[in-house]
Amino acid sequence: MKKRNLKFPLTRSLTVMLFVLLAMGACKSKKKVVEAAPEPVPVEEPAPQSEPEPQPSAEEVAVGKLENYFNAVANASNVQGANNTIREALGMFSNQNTPVLIVIHEESGTKDYDEPTTIERYLNYLKDTKKNLNFISDIRMDGSGKVTELELRRR
């Protein structure tokens, strides 16, 4: 009988633990079921009237074209191709002596410029060095859409 008494508490303990584990497992699964409740269907709002996209300004268009010209001149495979691109680019300026200012330093709103040059000289410089190290930071245009002044900065 003593053997039976030892098995009884062990069997009883194992049975109780099994029920506790099942109860805990059931609680967790109920929480998951409660948490996984379906989300409410969002009410679709009518699409707002599409506003026409703002058209880029003349300055933005000119900057894009000039950046392309500068890259084309710097990356031209031969001198003749670079000269043709320079001729096209000069058509965007009021004259071939349009000033080009290159900012070398700026502090507290005060800008220090490299020696002023002209657009013709700058384009030839790009052709000779085959490097476009600057980007357009400011552009001034006249009423007819021609560039009258260009300010560049180091990339």
Tally of structural domains, the chain:
1
Q: Is residue 4 part of a domain?
A: no
Q: Is residue 123 part of a domain?
A: yes
Of the two residues 51 and 59, the one the predictor is more confident about is: 59
Q: What is the pLDDT, as a whole number, of residue 17?
A: 75
> Whole domain around residue 135: which residue ranges?
58-154
Q: Is residue 140 part of a domain?
A: yes
Q: Which residues contact 73 (CB under 8 A, 6 or more apart)?
A: 82, 85, 86, 89, 123, 126, 127, 132
* Mean pLDDT, rounded, of the chain: 84
Q: What is the pLDDT, as a whole number, of residue 49?
A: 73
Mean pLDDT of 13-18: 74
For the CA atoms of 127, 132, 138, 140, the dihedral, rounded to the nearest 10 degrees, stands at: 20
Q: What is the pLDDT, as a whole number, of residue 16?
A: 75
- Residue 54 pLDDT class (50, 70, 90 cuts): confident
Residue 139 maps to which CATH number?
3.10.450
Q: Is residue 105 part of a domain?
A: yes
The tokens describing 45, both together, are 């709002």
Q: Is residue 91 part of a domain?
A: yes
- Residue 46 pLDDT class (50, 70, 90 cuts): low
Q: Is residue 22 part of a domain?
A: no
For the segment 57-103, what is each residue's pLDDT rounded down to a tens digit?
A: 889 999 999 999 999 999 999 999 999 999 999 999 999 999 999 99
Q: Is residue 50 part of a domain?
A: no
- Residue 112 pLDDT class (50, 70, 90 cuts): very high
Q: Is residue 43 part of a domain?
A: no
Q: Does residue 110 have a pLDDT over 90?
A: yes
Mean pLDDT of 33-57: 70
Q: Does residue 7 have a pLDDT over 90?
A: no
